[in-house]
Amino acid sequence: MDPLLLGLLVAVVTIIVLFSGVSVAIGLLIVSAGFLIVFDGMRSLELMPEILFGKLDNFALLSIPMFIIMGASIASTRAGADLYEALERWLTRVPGGLVISNLGACALFAAMSGSSPATCAAIGKMGIPEMRKRGYPDGVAAGSIAAGGTLGILIPPSVTMIVYGIATETSIGRLFLAGVIPGFLLVGLFMAWSLYSTWRSGDTARLGSGSYTWGQRFEILPRVLPFLAIILGVLYAMYGGIATPSETAAVGALLCLLIAMVIYKLWAPRAIWVVLRDSTKESVMILFIIAAAGVFSYMLSSLFITQSIAEWIGTLDVNRWVLMGAVNVFLLIAGFFLPPVAVILMAAPILLPIIITAGFDPIWFAVVLTINMEIGLISPPVGLNLYVINGIAPDISLKTILTGSLPYVACMVLAIILLCIFPGLATWLPNVVMGASV
């Protein structure tokens, strides 16, 4: 069979298998084994165990469970509420300051936890009732938290960026740096839209926060600053040449756990067990997907599907930006139905040769891909963040939450357009800190 037709058949079968309800990792293994047996014979299965476990034989993978423990330690405490309160107290004089403080808290908490659902739950439980009580429209209250929660997969440290780095053999340090400026750009766009929505709603005076003394503003900082110091410390150790990403992740996880125990009195063995249990579950899920995706990539390469697609794209006489537009549409559709980790691991082996052949920077593309995955988190039918917000505020209809999040989707699309016009937004900082890539 022609490799291109075979690739189309693999895509259709993979979609059908994944939509059947099986887990992503099991689905990828079923598809890989099936096509290898049909086209290469039973002997091809002898390599599957070696590929499966060989994909996990990577020291960089240690950073994934460590960063997950780091985030779980924070998510199990009042850190989110304290971040929210601290920013609310300092932004009390700004019209619409409450929604800005919510977005700021989302950005900081997302950076620490790396989990979009955890960010929505932690900040939304306090932020949404407060915004509604102060007169903010339900759409702004719910949509801003749903959108703010997505920032965790872009602002470093990001598990999604680690997965992309491992899947494409790209520097994780460069990927982290590449997400910084676009992350702040998205926060700025979200805040600008929120301020405009607040102003458009009418009584901006009523939308201000309460009144706080300087003493009340400073008293909450000791509960917030240690976590921010850990983030800065992790990034400094990584880029200062002191330690590898895996080593800094391990130290960061230990420090976050200790701070949760000391500041937030997380002493109960059961509470610590829950943190470790949940972290283990999520880590195993991600690592299993990575291993299964390695087998899937081997199948695509063994059947010459990846090479044929890259060669076919190279022969197309189309503008490279038309090609990039088609790739973005594909990523958007995939992000509507699958989690970011699954999309990256499945798509990277196919898309990376195409991107490089077309002359695009793989570091820059990582940021574009990640923003596409963020859009998927607040878009139906899967849109995980929408359902988390609906669980927090069940009296706000899913339609209202979706309507409120759509302007933030537009902000993300605008960010992608700006990245296409000014690719330096993603590549400048990595080049300055770590030197120009060869």
Closest to 145 (Cα-Cα) out of 191, 89, 100, 103 = 103
* 242-267 mean pLDDT: 82
Q: How confident is the model at residue 114 (pLDDT cuts 50, 70, 90)?
A: low
Q: In Å, how far are 110, 385, 386, 406 from 380, measured between CA atoms?
A: 21, 10, 8, 11
The average confidence (pLDDT) of the chain is 81
* 335-353 mean pLDDT: 79
Q: How confident is the model at residue 415 (pLDDT cuts 50, 70, 90)?
A: very high
What is the number of other CB atoms lying within 10 angstroms of the CB of residue 84?
Answer: 27
* 211-227 pLDDT tens trace: 677 787 888 888 778 87
Among 137-146, 150-159, 172-181, name the one with the lowest average pLDDT.
150-159
Local structure of residue 209 (DSSP, 8 states): -
Q: Give the pLDDT score at 299.
A: 85
Q: In Å, how far are 18, 72, 150, 350 from 26, measured between CA atoms?
A: 9, 26, 26, 20
Angle between helices 269-302 and 24-40 (to 10 degrees): 20
Q: Give the pLDDT score at 363.
A: 92
Structurally, how many domains does the chain consist of? 1
Extract long-range pairs of 40-48: CB within 8 Å, 24+ residues apart.
Answer: 40/302, 40/303, 44/302, 47/298, 48/295
Tokens 């939509």 map to which residue?
Answer: 19
Q: In Å, how far are 58, 147, 200, 321 from 142, measured between CA atoms?
A: 40, 9, 17, 34
Q: Give the pLDDT score at 364.
A: 93
Residues in the chain: 438
* 298-326 pLDDT tens trace: 888 788 877 777 677 667 677 888 888 88
Q: 0.85 cut: is pTM over it? A: no
Contact 414, 145 (CB under 8 A): no
Q: How confident is the model at residue 412 (pLDDT cuts 50, 70, 90)?
A: very high
The CA distance from 171 to 283, in Å, is 21
The structure tokens listed for 254 are: 């230990």
DSSP string covering 15-53: HHHHHTT--HHHHHHHHHHHHHHHHH-GGGGGGHHHHHH
Closest to 286 (Cα-Cα) out of 15, 17, 24, 18 = 24
The CA distance from 300 to 48, in Å, is 13
Name the phi and psi angles at 10, rounded to 5.
-60, -45
For 5, the 3-state DSSP assignment is: helix
Residue 404: which domain range?
A: 3-434
The separation between the first and the last C-alpha atoms of the chain, rounded to the nearest angstrom, is 38
* 264-291 mean pLDDT: 85
